[in-house]
Chain A
Amino acid sequence: MQVLDRPLVVSGELAWLGGDTLERHVQKPHAETARITGGKVYQQREGKAERSFSLERAPQLKVLVDSFVALLGGDASRLRRAFAIARRGDGHGAWSLTLTPRDLAVARTVASIRIDGENGQARCMWMQEADGDVAIDLLGGLAAKMPAAPTREALAALCKGG
């Protein structure tokens, strides 16, 4: 992130609860649960009252929900409605899927989403924000390999696999 001089590391679980509901449990650095459902985001931090705001105010979350729900639900037509899709494979089982938001308002905040995977397994999710910030999610077993002080290059290497 531009406002920071080193990456912010967060670990936890992201769960799809069916429909348009996503839940994000964070264990580190602070326990926090965020639930995205019905167009709203509910945020519950330890020892604090629940906050909520509209999904409209956080475009990258809307994109996250759209892409996740469509991906996990296998809803290809929904995915194609929300994004322009580009797929690349290296022929050895590694692949990457780049999703570019079709909605211009969304694209002003989120430039693209890239999902790297190998065979049937998604490994990483990259969210490229329009201001240059990148959020990288290491998925599944890869999450345990998150370095303490990661760099963009180190994570890219991790995602490529090997």
Chain B
Amino acid sequence: MRGSSGTPGHVRVAMLAVAWLLALALLGLWVVQRLHVSTDLRSFMPAPTTPDQRLLMEQVGEGPGSRLLLLAIAGADEASLARLSQDLAARLKPDARYTQVLNGSFDLTALDAKLLPYRYLLSPTLDTHTLDAPFLREELEQRLDDLSSPAASLLKDLLPRDPTLEVLKLAQRWAPANAPELREGVWFSPQGEALLLVQTAAVGFDPDAQRAAIDGIEAALRALPGGRVVRLTVSGPGYFSVVASTQTRQQADWIGRISTIGFIALLLLAYRSVSSLLLAALPVASGALAGIAALTLLYPQVHGITLAFGFTLLGVAQEYPIRVLSHRRAGEDAVASVRDLWPLLLTAIASACIAYLAFYASGVNGLKQLAVFTIVGLLAAGFSTRYLLPQLLPARVRDVAALPWLVRLRTAVDALPRPRWIPWLVAALVVGMLGLSRGPFWQNDLAALTPLPTDLLQRDARLRAALGAPDVRYLLTLEAATPDAVLALSERLQPKADRLIAQHAVDAIELPSRYLPSVATQRARQQKLPDRATLEHALAQATEGLPFRSGLFAPFVTDVETARTLPPLTPKAFAASPLGQRLAAMLIQRDGRWLGLGTVSGVHDAAALAALAQGSGGAVSVLDLKEAAESLVVAYRTRILQALLAAAALLVLTIGLALRSLRRAWHVLAPMTLATFLVLAVERVAGVEVSLFHLVALILAAGLGLHYALFFERDTGDAAEQRRTLHATLVCVLSALLVFGMLAWATIPVLRAIGLTVSLGVAFHFCLSILMAPHAPADDAAEK
């Protein structure tokens, strides 16, 4: 059975190697064809459990707020910027990728020409007036004043068709509530940038569609005369999803490349054998492919972050072949040395899998995927290390135990004082540092989980404030059986909303009925429209003695006549026009019921806003997305902590059973636990607020630390084996520091948090497991 003797053995080894590689290649091919990578950030947020939380998650990705792109054009004089803003808006409006383009310019085309007669059903004028002689007289006198005023040219064209200026009333009604300053006819920020609001047809968290939309804007701007020299700033949820997916991909790529190069160099240095190095890569490759294959089977889409984190976490699996390589003895068959090592290795694999199970219990889709990937990956890597790798390893090896520097290092390590008070000193330090630390312990802000640099968020806040764009934090929901019932409910809510605005509790509230009144309201207004004869008579009375040319208002009379017989405008019919698209985004169907969404800007008094829902019998609710998200995070953390506790109990049981001694289990678990708390304490003293990602990183570091402690604790009574253990652990620690030290350089806050936490953890775990390992000779003596 020895692969080292004779030609048949060589053939068998070659066949095994080819079969393994072929299996990996086939698996790889299958995975490439089936794998759908998603970049939806929401799968890394906690899973919603209540209807409100479900709505929250949908809105974060698909609501009207999440489709808004905020644009700022800078870098030229005001007049050129204004012209660019106008030309850009003109180019984007016919493009199907954008449902609404606003730049502040006065735009009557917002109302489709065919829909123009509907103005009498859409405008609230007829709620308080009728088109009778006194009202028309008053209006016409005002128009005469207007003609003599500087505003004359604005309305001269409108006058014959629309003497009561309903179109202007509607334009005012539909303009954003807190519009920015108008200069040269378009919106400008206080910093002198031309501002535009673009609503995309694509949902906010579809990075590919958002990228297409943003590229389309960029291309349209650059194609304009003078559009090449200006600076375009884009912000909004859609832009963020593009940035996040690009950054994740780029950073995962370069960190992965550098880590791989460093790792190869480290292994070459440690084992001086190219074939060993190549073979040692096989278990990890098998683990990664098996992990992805399992994900592809279980989930329709695999998240990009899952893959990036997953490959990182699978770094633990590199330890298995490293242990095998370091522990080989001169002249001993690889299969035999693996057999010796296997019980301990199996304990290590089992405990790492148990720790990663905690991810699965988190209930977060992305983390569940991460758990599936890492557990399947670890098992595949572990078992291929046990059953496949040793068959292929070359027979002749360099026994690392004979290395002079390692002998000296082991002696030095053995000579280290190991006073029994060390655990107590570290525990006291931890308690002291945790007591000293300032600021909130937990980071509940969902934004801290979103891998976005803060300057982007600040820029977004600045543009959002300048544009008066709705807050993404608060959302009003109106629930009813039909879209029309939602609109009717929205109309009843409007006076309450107006009171809130008057009290300065909020700056603005945008309800669906702002764009379209209910059918009942439209019918009521229609009933008030006079017939042709009555209107002509009233008009004749009203113009008596006024200088208007006779017959001037014929188009007005025709429009009113048309409006009398129009079927009321429904959201469906309205959806054909740009503004109808806006409304469509505010009405969503859900479980056979309809939900209307109201956006809120500039909330000054959250309690007053919350009171808006009172007395509606549950039909109206105010959703604080931030609060809902934070409560989700707290619930999610509680679940992670519970899962961790269970995992810890399981771990103690597993280690205790595997080692069959509570005393030995203590030597393994105590350094691991202390080092974990030490990392926590050091980060807290440094002012770090603990987020879910820190917890994840602590679990990972604990898994690595457990390996170190397990192997240091192993007492073979063989000095050479002790040296091999030290060698293997050193290679493992260095490779972990390499991989996670690299992560600490990432600009994505989450990657940085993980990198720093794991690097610190690996260092502490290594030191403590050396210092707290049983002192070989002394302990042997004590036990005997």
Contacts and interface: CB of A to CB of B under 8 A. Distances in A.
A32 B149 CA distance: 9
Nearest to A41: B150
Interface string B149-172: 111111010011000000000000
B548 A34 contact: no
B550 interface: yes
A109 B157 CA distance: 12
Q: Is the interface of A mostly helix, strand, loop or mixed?
A: mixed
Interface of B: 82, 106, 144-145, 147-154, 156, 159-160, 182-185, 547-550, 552
Contact of A10 (B106, B148, B549, B552): B148
Interface in A1-28: 1-8, 10, 24, 26
Nearest to B182: A54
Contacts of A59: 153
B159 A58 contact: no
A50 interface: no
A1 B153 CA distance: 11
A26 B146 CA distance: 12
A54 B552 contact: no
Contacts of A152: none
Interface string A43-54: 101000001011
A30 interface: yes
Contacts of B154: 53, 57-58
A131 interface: yes
Contacts of B550: 5
18 contacts: A1-B156, A4-B547, A5-B547, A7-B547, A8-B144, A8-B148, A34-B149, A36-B150, A39-B183, A39-B184, A45-B145, A53-B151, A54-B184, A58-B150, A58-B153, A58-B154, A109-B153, A133-B156
Contacts of A67: none
B151 A41 contact: yes
A61 interface: yes
A62 B68 CA distance: 35
A32 B147 contact: no
Contacts of A5: 547-550
Contacts of A41: 150-151
Q: Which of B82, B144, B149, B547 is most buried by chain A, counting CB atoms within 10 A of its CB?
A: B149
B759 to A, nearest CB: 57
A71 to B, nearest CB: 18
A1 B147 contact: yes
Given A58-B153, A58-B154, A4 B147 contact: yes
Given A4-B147, A43-B149, 11 more contacts: A3-B159, A4-B549, A7-B547, A26-B148, A41-B151, A43-B151, A54-B182, A54-B184, A57-B106, A59-B153, A109-B153
B547 A8 contact: yes
B59 to A, nearest CB: 35
Nearest to A26: B148
A43 B156 CA distance: 18
B181 to A, nearest CB: 9
B150 A61 contact: yes
A53 B149 CA distance: 12
A34 B156 contact: no
Contacts of B82: 56
A24 B547 contact: no
Nearest to B163: A3
Contacts of A51: 151
Contact of A3 (B106, B148, B156): B156
B185 A57 contact: yes
Nearest to B184: A56
A96 interface: no
B151 A58 contact: yes
A34 B150 contact: yes
B107 to A, nearest CB: 12
Contacts of B153: 58-60, 109, 129
Contacts of B144: 8
Nearest to A22: B150
A31 to B, nearest CB: 11
A126 B666 CA distance: 101
Lowest 6 A-B CB distances belong to which pairs?
A: A56-B185, A4-B547, A6-B547, A5-B549, A10-B148, A54-B182
Q: Which of B151, B154, B550, B552 is most buried by chain A, counting CB atoms within 10 A of its CB?
A: B151
Contacts of B145: 29-30, 32, 45
Q: Which of A2, A26, A30, A56 is most buried by chain B, counting CB atoms within 10 A of its CB?
A: A56
Contacts of B150: 24, 34, 36, 41, 43, 58, 61
B645 to A, nearest CB: 64
Contacts of A2: 549
Interface string A116-144: 00000000000001010100000000000
A101 B252 CA distance: 60
Q: Which of A29, A32, A54 is most buried by chain B, counting CB atoms within 10 A of its CB?
A: A54
Contacts of A61: 150
A28 to B, nearest CB: 10
A41 B185 CA distance: 12
Contacts of B147: 1, 3-4, 8
Nearest to A110: B153
A54 B185 contact: yes
Contacts of A131: 156
A51 B142 CA distance: 14
A41 B152 CA distance: 12
Contacts of A129: 153
B186 to A, nearest CB: 9
Contacts of A109: 153
A10 B150 CA distance: 12
A135 B144 CA distance: 14
Contacts of A34: 149-150
A3 B151 contact: no
A106 to B, nearest CB: 11
Contacts of B184: 39, 54, 56
Q: Which of A4, A32, A51, A129 is most buried by chain B, counting CB atoms within 10 A of its CB?
A: A4
Nearest to B548: A4
Nearest to A4: B547
Nearest to A45: B145
Nearest to B154: A57
Contacts of B159: 3
Nearest to B552: A3
A105 to B, nearest CB: 10
A107 B12 CA distance: 92
Nearest to B143: A3
A34 B106 CA distance: 21
